[in-house]
């Protein structure tokens, strides 16, 4: 049993009331953490006010050094973090190791950006009343950042919020998912050990009351939330006058045109559709295949999916592990049944695995109707919906019919067609000859429509975690 305390302004605090952490594969408890509440948030914010002064007083180089030390500490504890990720998320050990390595890179990118929080001069005398004046702006930290993260990437998504906020000179309060609080608390350990001013950092496990207190408090200047559209909508209505960054998911698509690389598209569909049991906001959920390639695509996809190894996520050769909770397996089963009732066809899977009932078998569903949940909503499960299309206009229309718009992959060797897709597809990212699940941790990442507001990637997150301060000198 892994026991952790919560972090409030640099102080490790225990409480009688606990949250149990459940291993998704066995459904047995593997950890316990204190259950935070509104009073804990209030205390964290009071300490964060002092912590902000301390971290703001550090030089850019000092913040860089702290984050680089943290990256080294994470490297030294990489396997411990990876195994803990398996236990709390249920992702495979290979997926967990990848997340740790990505988190290290996110830390390093954030450290480097601490040196590049730049301003800019502007020609104030371009205006008639600007003669004899010098104008420029600088970027200054906002103060206190509230960060709320989901269960699927508890380490790296926490890192994407906490590390850039610290790099810019802010204090941070982090609420991880109540399902996966262990690695975020371990992150708190290494950041304090690396030298982050203690009062500038809090990690508070808890439920919705903690999140509400963190997002509505008037002393919080930025709220950064990754999670469901439903909760994001609630937060957007509650936060008041403060900056808001939302990453709310998607039902990401691939378009495979008739001149595209079929084998590569199949491989990217498998990689993107079944990683972490499909519980990724840029998971491949919908695939639109030109009718000339459709039958062959289905055939090859079924062959490739049949080779996926499901089972114990701690085994080195496992490709697909459990979903996070029984309720999620029940939900996706209902969605598939609804699609089939409306005319869809199950090509592979479609049920829980007989040997491991915590695992939903990797599933392919074809001819999925536009009015089904499997087409319209975010599945967050190891299910890929495949439909044929006649022309590119039809494929683009289907992609854009979604309320979401995070990332889309397009497979084609026609530059003009690729550019048409780039211009017309409504998404935060269009990836040519790559799946929508691709992400490099320094790139601008975020969506349009109900996929959210703002961009992550350390450089771009820092834009949200800072304010522009204009400076004018009268030199007459």
Does the pLDDT of residue 112 top 90, yes or no? yes
Query: Is 123 in the same domain as 8?
Result: yes
Query: Is 264 in the same domain as 183?
Result: no
The pairing of beta strand 243-247 with beta strand 452-453: antiparallel
- Indicate the pLDDT class of residue 6, thresholds 50, 70 and 90: very high
Query: Is 337 in the same domain as 460?
Result: no
**Count of all residues that appear for the chain in the document:** 476
Does the pLDDT of residue 371 top 90, yes or no? yes
Does the pLDDT of residue 355 top 90, yes or no? no
Does the pLDDT of residue 101 top 90, yes or no? yes
Does the pLDDT of residue 155 top 90, yes or no? yes
Query: Is 240 in the same domain as 142?
Result: yes
Query: Is 203 in the same domain as 273?
Result: no
Number of domains in the chain: 2
Residues labelled as active-site residues = 247, 281
Residue 446 lies inside a defined structural domain of this protein: no
Residue 445 lies inside a defined structural domain of this protein: no
Give the range of the structural domain holding residue 312, as residue numbers without chain letter.
253-440
Give Cβ neighbours of residue 10 (< 8 Å, ≥ 6 apart).
47, 51, 192, 197, 198, 199, 200, 201
How crowded is the C-beta side of 471, counted as CA atoms within 13 Å? Answer: 11
pLDDT at 356: 87
Average pLDDT over residues 302-309: 98
Query: What is the rounded CA–CA span in Å between residue 464 and residue 146?
Result: 12
Which CATH number goes with the domain that contains 366?
3.40.309.10
Tens digits of residue pLDDT in 8-25: 999 999 999 999 999 999
Residue 346 lies inside a defined structural domain of this protein: yes
Phi and psi of 11, rounded to 5°?
-105, 130
Residue 345 lies inside a defined structural domain of this protein: yes
Tens digits of residue pLDDT in 79-89: 999 999 999 99
Q: What angle (nearest 5°) sits at the alpha carbon of residue 466, between those of residues 281 and 429?
A: 30
Query: Is 129 in the same domain as 25?
Result: yes
Query: Is 42 in the same domain as 130?
Result: yes
Q: Which helix (DSSP H) or strand (DSSP E) does residue 171 occupy? A: strand 171-175
Which CATH number goes with the domain that contains 457?
3.40.605.10
With a pLDDT cut of 90, the percent of the chain lying above it is 99
pLDDT at 164: 99
Query: Is 223 in the same domain as 342?
Result: no
Residue 76 CB neighbour total at 10 angstroms: 10
Closest CA to 422 of 442, 397, 396: 396
């Amino acid at each position: 049993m892994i026991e952790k305390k919560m972090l409030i302004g640099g102080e490790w605090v225990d409480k009688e009331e606990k949250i149990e952490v459940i291993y998704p594969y066995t459904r047995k408890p593997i950890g316990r953490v204190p259950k935070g509440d509104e009073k804990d948030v209030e205390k964290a914010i009071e300490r964060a006010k002092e912590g902000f002064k301390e971290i703001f007083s550090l030089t850019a180089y000092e913040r860089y050094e702290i984050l680089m030390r943290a990256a080294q500490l994470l490297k030294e504890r990489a396997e411990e973090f990876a195994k803990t990720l398996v236990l709390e998320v249920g992702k495979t050990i290979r997926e967990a190791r990848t997340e740790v390595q990505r988190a290290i890179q996110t830390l390093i990118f954030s450290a480097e950006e601490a040196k590049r929080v730049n301003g800019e001069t502007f020609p104030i005398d371009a205006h008639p009343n600007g003669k004899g004046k010098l104008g420029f702006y600088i970027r200054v930290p906002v103060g206190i950042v509230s960060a709320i993260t989901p269960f699927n990437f508890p380490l790296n998504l926490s890192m994407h919020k906490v590390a850039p906020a610290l790099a810019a000179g802010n204090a941070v309060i982090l609420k991880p998912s109540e399902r996966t609080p262990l690695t975020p608390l371990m992150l708190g350990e290494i950041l304090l050990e690396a030298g982050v001013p203690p009062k500038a950092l809090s990690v508070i496990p808890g439920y919705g009351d903690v999140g509400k207190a963190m997002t509505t408090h008037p002393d919080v200047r930025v709220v950064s939330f990754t999670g469901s559209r439903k909760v994001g909508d609630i937060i957007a209505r509650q936060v008041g006058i403060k900056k808001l960054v939302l990453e709310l998911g998607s039902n990401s698509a691939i378009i495979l045109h008739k001149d595209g690389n079929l084998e590569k598209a199949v491989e990217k569909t498998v990689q993107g559709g079944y990683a972490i049991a499909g519980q990724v906001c840029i998971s491949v959920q919908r695939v639109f295949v030109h009718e000339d390639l459709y039958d062959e695509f289905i055939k090859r996809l079924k062959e490739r999916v049949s080779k996926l190894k499901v089972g114990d996520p701690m085994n080195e050769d496992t490709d697909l592990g459990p979903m996070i909770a029984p309720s999620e397996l029940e939900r996706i089963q209902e969605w598939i049944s609804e699609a089939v009732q409306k005319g869809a066809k199950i090509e592979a899977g479609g049920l829980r695995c007989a040997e491991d009932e915590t695992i939903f078998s990797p599933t392919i569903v074809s001819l999925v109707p536009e009015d089904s949940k499997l087409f319209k909503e975010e599945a967050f499960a190891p299910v890929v919906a495949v439909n044929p299309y006649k022309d590119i206009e039809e494929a683009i229309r289907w992609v854009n019919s979604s309320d979401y718009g995070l990332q889309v992959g397009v497979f084609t060797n026609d530059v003009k067609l690729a550019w048409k897709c780039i211009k017309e597809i409504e998404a935060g990212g269009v990836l040519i000859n790559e799946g929508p699940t691709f992400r490099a941790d320094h790139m601008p990442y975020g969506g349009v429509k109900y996929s959210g507001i703002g961009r992550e990637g350390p450089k771009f997150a820092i834009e949200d975690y800072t304010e522009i301060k204009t400076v004018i000198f009268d030199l007459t």
